[in-house]
Amino acid sequence: MITVSVDHARKTVIARMSGFLSTEDVEAFARKEQEAVESMDLGSGQFYLLIDTAEAIIQPQDVVAAFQHLVQNAVYKAARIAVARHGSLTKMQTERILRVRGDAAMFETLAEAEEWLFSEPLGADKDGPRSRDD
């Protein structure tokens, strides 16, 4: 399951992922993310995306591929994407998804993800790290 919320003050779309996902879940997330961005009256490069995977488990390859496609081809592209990844099993999958964007990074905790995400004003960062826990 994927839930999506917004933090209007920080211009951030927040996604929380849990359990075993399907490609339909990824498609639903794409729609929810687009709606969230539009609800803040923003466009590409004008918002952050924060993803918390605390409750997520290892995903099937078709779901990983669907996320990779979404990261590359989202209707609205986030200025930066930060993923809080809990547990080593999902590390390789997360790296694979994020490697298609230079402005995306993976962290061990939500606090570290938020610190990096908000460390640069929107539009200031062109190439962020892919991972900070290597």
pLDDT value of residue 95 = 83
90 within domain boundaries: yes
Length of the chain: 134
Report the CATH number at residue 43: 3.30.750.24
pLDDT value of residue 89 = 65
123 within domain boundaries: no
In the chain, which residues have pLDDT < 50?
Answer: 125-134
Q: Are 78 and 121 in contact (CB under 8 A)?
A: no
134 within domain boundaries: no
Name the pTM for this structure. Answer: 0.84
The domain in which residue 79 lies consists of: 2-117
84 within domain boundaries: yes
